[in-house]
Amino acid sequence: MAIQANGQPLRAMKHGIAQCLHCHRLLHLRNIPRNQRALCPRCGGDVSFRKPQSIARTWAWVITAMVLLVPANVLPVMTVISLRQGEPDTIFSGILSLIDAGMYPIAAVVFIASIVVPVLKLVGIIVLLLVVQLKLKMSPRQCTVTYRWIEFIGRWSMLDLFMISILVTLVDLGSIASITAGAGATAFAGVVVTTIIAVSSFDTRLIWDLETSRE
Amino acid sequence: MTEKPVPAASLEDWLACDHCDALLHRRNIPAGAAAVCPFCGSVLLRSKRRAAQRTLAFSVAGLLFYVPANFLPIMSFELLGNDAFSTLYGGVLQLWQQGYWWMSFLVCTCSMVMPLLALVVRLILAIAMYSQRFGRWHRPLLRAVHSVSEWDMLEVYMLGILVAFIKMSDLGTIHLGVALLCFVGLLISTLGATLSFDSHACWEQLDRAVRAKRVAKRHRDVIRRLV
Ligand SMILES: [Zn+2]
Ligand SMILES: [Zn+2]
């Protein structure tokens, strides 16, 4: 382990060393501007000190996700038709009807996966973006831990979509009962994908760069 | 102020942290242990015991479970004498027929395509590690391993099955199908293959194999010239 005399770690970029994020090989990249790309000799992937245009790209995906969040919550995600009657359900009314039926644990699981996770994820990534852009004094270690959590929980919002895809075939009983998907589900699928891409385009090393620049 | 020596030309003994860019000198990690970044706490690398054999076993098992888990009924639902059953593939098809192409595509990608790719790619790489034979074409596969697993969401699908089961068991009669067992088997094998695969070791072996090939070629050239 290499630590400088003042207790700070050696930063790879400061020494002109970049890491290939595909295969983890280190490369000397001296005299190449910060955002310029180079090719990794081991795997052929792009290598740069930081993910290119990380902030702008992350914002673009975050804003797209926020826009899609509106139709995802307003439009119906699923319609249950039983004996030719049925009302379309939005994500929220679906949760309410689960509560009415007394299925509290399921209602909680769906609430967490379809509402809490996407919102927390967006709020979290926006906070991290603001930390970098406004140079807020937050513990970089805390921010990195937050990022890892956001990265981990993201996939669980697919729950609702998988559930719909199971139900549409499971309850396919012609005139007795049937379930169809709704336009809201398409928007929600968009939210899941855009938030996952937003998180992966953010570069946590930018937060640690703030410390180096303060020295 | 004295600085510790900065890594010189060879960077083989050094690691950089993905999340905080700290440069760390690499020490031998005992098999089965992980090296954690002391600054931000992310896992730098994990050395796996018998990575090749375990990955091989898990991915073969997963591929055996794959077809029944995807195409046989996971559960069936009965109401007023009528019944219907659900399969992974059927759900994707039904969404497509209802006109929700994008959703159908996404569900298909995350529950059918990526899990299959994750198993096949790991199987190919495990065979290469086991037999110590690497070619150039292994590189794109090894590079893709991580992103493929990112979109392989079988564990979320498992939760979806549970939620759908509890939700519908109140409204009618539900029978669990044989594919549910296969699905659990597929899920466990995929997780096993993902956890036991050692991409760091694989890259190093690939590097060594490529270098050995280059040396062998040079030797052949020299001999040819002498003869
Ligand atoms: Zn590389
Ligand atoms: Zn770190």
Domain locations along chain B: 11-46, 51-213
Query: Nearest 10 degrees: CA dihedral of A31, A34, A38, A41?
Result: 80
Q: Is A17 helix (H, G, I), strand (E, B) or coil?
A: strand
Centroid of ligand 2 to alpha carbon of A23 (angstroms): 17
CB–CB of B102 and A1 under 8 A?
no
The CATH code of the domain at B51-213 is 1.20.140
ipTM, 2 dp: 0.88
Pairing of strands B82-86, B75-79: antiparallel
CB–CB of A169 and B94 under 8 A?
yes
In single-letter form, the type of residue at position B40 comes to C
Backbone phi and psi for residue A49, each to the nearest 5 degrees, phi listed first: -65, -45
Number of alpha carbons in the 13 Å side-chain half-sphere of residue B75: 25
Q: Extract the tokens encoding B221.
A: 């050239």
Residue with the larger pLDDT of the pair A49 and B154: B154
- Could you say which DSSP state residue A172 is in? B
Q: Which residues of chain A have a CB within 8 Å of the CB of B41?
A: 141, 144-145
Pairs of residues, one from chain A and one from chain B, whose beta carbons lie less than 8 Å apart? 224
Q: What is the pLDDT at residue B7?
A: 56
User: Domain extents for chain A?
Assistant: 13-47, 54-214
CB–CB of B160 and A162 under 8 A?
yes
Backbone phi and psi for residue A213, each to the nearest 5 degrees, phi listed first: -75, -20
- Model confidence over A41-95: pLDDT tens digits? 888 888 888 888 899 999 999 999 999 999 999 999 888 887 777 788 888 888 8
Q: Given CA atoms B70, B75, B78, B79 in this order, what sign does their dihedral have?
A: negative
Q: Among B55, B45, B50, B49, which residue's Cα sits nearest to residue B200?
A: B45
Q: pLDDT confidence of B3, banded at 50, 70, 90? A: very low
Q: Tell me the shortest Cα–Cα distance from B82 to chain A, in angstroms.
A: 6
Burial B125-146 (b: 16+ CB within 10 A, else e): bbebbeeeebeeebbebbbebe
Centroid of ligand 1 to alpha carbon of B139 (angstroms): 9
Q: Which residues of chain B have a CB within 8 Å of the CB of A205?
A: 19-21
Average pLDDT on A194-211 reads 91
Q: Is A178 helix (H, G, I), strand (E, B) or coil?
A: strand
- Could you say which DSSP state residue A113 is in? I
Contact between A47 and A37 (Cβ < 8 Å):
yes
CB–CB of B91 and A13 under 8 A?
no
- Model confidence over B176-218: pLDDT tens digits? 888 899 999 999 999 999 999 988 888 888 888 888 888 888 8
Centroid of ligand 2 to alpha carbon of A114 (angstroms): 31
